Structure 1
């Protein structure tokens, strides 16, 4: 089944015991995030009347790799190939009118547009966050030069009644904004909250400039995604969205934003950031509000899986014997990449390491592993490093490369003055580990220990149902 809106997916999770319903009135400041985190990866959570507000909050509905594969209708092993196939065969969206767009059933603008902090149940997540943040929000904007749309996720702070602060890293939205700002123009945007799992995942695809991520969403759904024109701009948004905030990123305006607990599980600094002016809010009747608990599984997996698909495709173009890739949750879904290969030549793992490090600046450490290792099981990766890797022979270090701006260990040079610090932030050493066996080895040196028949054991046939042991002073005997 294809889940075309958020509600269908939540109903499915509830029917299969994976949606917990919280007590009414759980506090929006820290408590809601704490409850969602406690159930992270096991159940999504529905919060009725959070903080006494009418709009319920949902969280954690994509906090499992297996759930994401299930939403796609494929097995976990098919997850990345299926996503890649959708990206390779995008399906353009179709525009619908307001009468076909649930997200515009209720319109709030002009004098009716009251304080966002009273309208929406926006949580305060982490201990030192500087205020309430939209964390499950998708920002949609049009390229000022071409009109092609881009969708991306950003942290957005509610700073005032109709003002938001946004953190933009130097990617597509930032490029659109700088182009508009160079003309002294605001950039029209729409902030979409509460969309179906496949559209949310598609929005995180790593694609070239002027490639509309909603076309990937259509391919994942198997039919064009219905989109509707915003009421105050030319931006189009998914018609089945729960809530849409229409606004503009203002040219030349900056305000303090942060600190905020980010995906590396550290806080970003308080800095001057761009400002959004809110013009209009539309939503479904009785809408749902989606929040993502920062740095937990829903956050990490949404970033990791589309990146994995892109990395797999890039590596396989040069190395067809690359079988799988995995951005580990221990590496916050960004920094640690495990690559499985069917090794054919000595030295090949080093080439793969170099290609992987060049594929995305966020990647910090790469481990290349043989095809007998399950790279999704950390214990197997660690075992391969422990038994197949020697640091003086198999370690590759690249100093002074570009790294993640949100990795706190890259912030070198801050004592050398503000200008030097600004240029040094994000400079990172990269490391690659060749944890593969040599192509040839003597006898059984690198042969894995195995017990014949261990994979075929049927415990239901081998273990006595209800069996127990009766003990006495002299003997022990099994009884049925």
Structure 2
């Protein structure tokens, strides 16, 4: 899967070295196209619903590349990292090594490399006057009740107004007008930056980078302490400093080979309506007053590609799942070395349901693991702990373990009134529509100990296994055609 570049003695994920020393979106799309994983849609498609509907149908099978989105000449791509195996492939590793590799990158970031503007592809074309986002960019409206077009795959980059260290995140952004956008800020690092700037009466300079490679996209979702620049984690994933460029109208540094960059500032003490919007739990979030970005510039490559993520589909879910899994695994293993693997299930929207594989030695340990997981991230709503003979990536295996190793009166853990996800609609039951932030997302947590007893008699909990079932060579034994079977029937036909 990997290849070594003799000139630099560096290893790259594919059969060729990326043009700029680090993987770009175009490198990755070219690789997917060569392996039959890009579906090109040449016919005109509407930006309202139709584009997202087609991308959803292709989700997990092929990336969708639209050459004629709406009336725009700028093409749109979606779904280029919608399988775990593809993301591992972009890293040049086996899928089983995905969490360990991401964790290593997060622990050993690589400082970015600042390029001159002349070398930054993202600034080949610059717009600073008369900006009209609707005219410049093919921004889709995704779900049925979405309140207009949304940027869903933009890396929002800002500097801490007190320390100057950058933060990178993906936030949903509703385009309100030619140079005005509303942004959802959850109580995380970007929110803290904005609050600090607003308290000082200042706007917060930001940039929205659209059309970056899969490794940089994934790095943006790393769960780190404040003042850790996720672009440096992207550098570690690339195995080389990530090329960055300084924005035209502010001091934010952006990936130099991004397709499109929207520069602007979050205005202090200004709020405008945003939503409804179809979010990752596969429900709509309500219309609420949100912070506002005033656009100061749009820069892009001479022939840019616009990336959109279809909300609640696999590209969206996996972007959140893999960095969280890596963080959760590290957190659990610090207190419980017997934890071997974790998985945020697709049915649990890759956020709420965590499955933990655990080498149990004593009774009660599995419940401690459950409690540790709840403390690791407030989104976690349900935890199932299973033994090491259970594949935590297989929903049928998890259900089998619950069916045969769990008893509700003995193995169930329920915690009432804990902080959960504000986007979980079940937490709104009994709350007023205008509930203040401190009352939003209050949730019950449930843990299931689906492990065997530490000691059990005879073969009561021994899993049925047929010797040779995993090693038998079917290709050598099964006939390529039915001639032998047909001959048997002809000889023994009554």
Normalised to the residue count of structure 1, the TM-score between the two structures is: 0.96
Structure 1 equivalent of residue 55 of structure 2: 36
Question: Cα offset for 1:155?
Answer: 0.4
CA distance in 2, matches of 1:418, 1:278: 30
Partner secondary structure for residue 456 of structure 1: coil
Structure 1 equivalent of residue 470 of structure 2: 455
Is the Cα–Cα contact under 8 Å of residues 130 and 257 in structure 1 kept in the other structure? yes
Pair 1:70–1:122, CA change in 2 (3 A): same
Structure 2 equivalent of residue 74 of structure 1: 93
Quote the RMSD (CA, aligned, Å).
1.4
CA distance in 1, matches of 2:271, 2:257: 33
Q: How does 1:115-126 map to 2 (within 5 A)?
A: 115-126=132-143
Q: How does 1:123-272 map to 2 (within 5 A)?
A: 123-272=140-289
Is the Cα–Cα contact under 8 Å of residues 404 and 426 in structure 1 kept in the other structure? yes
CA distance in 2, matches of 1:324, 1:397: 23
Runs of 4+ more than 6 Å apart: 471-475
Question: Cα offset for 1:120?
Answer: 0.3
Question: Cα offset for 1:412?
Answer: 3.4
Structure 1 equivalent of residue 298 of structure 2: 281
Partner secondary structure for residue 220 of structure 1: helix
Instruction: Name which of 348, 354, 357 aligns with 2:374.
Output: 357
Partner secondary structure for residue 177 of structure 2: coil
Is the Cα–Cα contact under 8 Å of residues 259 and 270 in structure 1 kept in the other structure? yes
Question: Cα offset for 1:275?
Answer: 0.7
CA distance in 2, matches of 1:292, 1:347: 42
Is 1:87 aligned with 2:103? no
Structure 2 equivalent of residue 444 of structure 1: 459
Q: How many residues are paired up?
A: 473
Question: Cα offset for 1:475?
Answer: 7.0
Is the Cα–Cα contact under 8 Å of residues 26 and 51 in structure 1 kept in the other structure? yes
Partner secondary structure for residue 51 of structure 1: coil
Pair 1:474–1:79, CA change in 2 (3 A): closer
Q: Give the unaligned 5+ runs of structure 1.
A: none
CA distance in 2, matches of 1:12, 1:441: 51
CA distance in 2, matches of 1:319, 1:62: 32
Q: How does 1:16-35 map to 2 (within 5 A)?
A: 16-35=35-54
Instruction: Name which of 387, 394, 397 aligns with 1:377.
Output: 394
Pair 1:189–1:464, CA change in 2 (3 A): same
Structure 2 equivalent of residue 434 of structure 1: 449
Structure 2 equivalent of residue 322 of structure 1: 339
CA distance in 2, matches of 1:473, 1:278: 76
Q: Give the unaligned 5+ runs of structure 2.
A: 1-11
Partner secondary structure for residue 46 of structure 2: coil
Is 1:304 aligned with 2:321? yes
CA distance in 2, matches of 1:11, 1:472: 50
Instruction: Name which of 42, 49, 61 aligns with 2:68.
Output: 49
Structure 1 equivalent of residue 479 of structure 2: 464
- Tell which deviates more after alignment, 460-469 or 146-155: 460-469
CA distance in 2, matches of 1:256, 1:414: 21
Structure 2 equivalent of residue 338 of structure 1: 355
Normalised to the residue count of structure 2, the TM-score between the two structures is: 0.94
Is 1:110 aligned with 2:129? yes
Question: Cα offset for 1:24?
Answer: 2.6
